[in-house]
Amino acid sequence: MQVTTLCLGALVFGEATGYEINKMFEDGPFSHFLDASYGSIYPALTRLTDEGLVTCKAEQQERRPDKKIYALTDRGRQSLSEALHTPLAEDKFRSEFLFAVLFADLLPRSRVVELVDQRLAAMKAKTEELATKDPGDTPGMDFARLYGHAVYSASVSFLENNRHLIEDIAVDDKPQEAPREVHTHV
């Protein structure tokens, strides 16, 4: 599924500029399970306009570049519907963290601990973010949000309960990197 189709989906929620569509992928309703950036969104909107799937009206602004407001046409809405009736790609998951974990036995324990701590913090933040319901959300957004919350919660639990599995296979830190003044503790 290409960025053009994703843009059609974005415009179902109302007319928008390329800038606003980009925000939907960065912060908005798409941010947790889709990706697209300026480099693909602007060309996509041009293509869609050429094909008559969206309309573009330029709004003049003082001392600013014109704002181009895009809106779905009937053909655009139909094109999205067709895309949603053809087989969808499987979910894709990419994790450099799990890649690194495969080589935990080559890393110092402190680095593995750091990686787990970072991942755990990131996942907790996402879990919390997805815990609060926004009244403006559609039922579909609610479902996606709850889905994400369930998955990230499971992720956090797993990491907390099993981090020792990889931390214990990491190599010991070099002595000189650890504090030496243990004897002063007495």
**What is the DSSP-derived secondary structure letter of residue 56?**
E
Spatial distance between the Cα atoms of 125 and 94, rounded to a whole number of angstroms: 19
* Partner from DNA, a copy of itself, none binding residue 125, C-beta < 5-8 Å depending on class: none
Question: Which range, of 63-71, 76-84, 104-112, 123-131, touches DNA by CB under 7 A?
Answer: 63-71
Q: Which helix (H) or strand (E) holds 6?
A: helix 3-12
- The count of chain residues that interact with a copy of itself, using the rule CB under 8 A, is 59
HSE-up of residue 154 (Cα within 13 Å, Cβ side): 5
* Binding of residue 143 to DNA (CB under 7 A): no
* Binding of residue 37 to DNA (CB under 7 A): yes
* Binding of residue 142 to a copy of itself (CB under 8 A): yes
Among 60, 29, 79, CA closest to 20: 29
Question: Residue 64 or residue 180: which is nearer to DNA going by CB?
Answer: 64
* Binding of residue 82 to a copy of itself (CB under 8 A): no
**What is the DSSP-derived secondary structure letter of residue 175?**
G
* Partner from DNA, a copy of itself, none binding residue 36, C-beta < 5-8 Å depending on class: DNA
* Partner from a copy of itself, DNA, none binding residue 17, C-beta < 5-8 Å depending on class: DNA
DSSP-based three-state secondary structure for 46 = helix
Spatial distance between the Cα atoms of 138 and 143, rounded to a whole number of angstroms: 9
C-alpha 23: how far from chain center: 12
Q: Residue 157 CB: number of other CB atoms within 10 A?
A: 11
Q: Which residues are at the interface with DNA (CB under 7 A)?
A: 2-4, 17-20, 22-23, 35-40, 42-46, 61, 63-69
Q: Which residues are at the interface with a copy of itself (CB under 8 A)?
A: 1, 6, 9, 12, 29-30, 32-35, 80-81, 84-85, 88-107, 111, 115, 119, 122, 138-144, 146-147, 150-151, 153-155, 157-159, 162, 165-166, 169
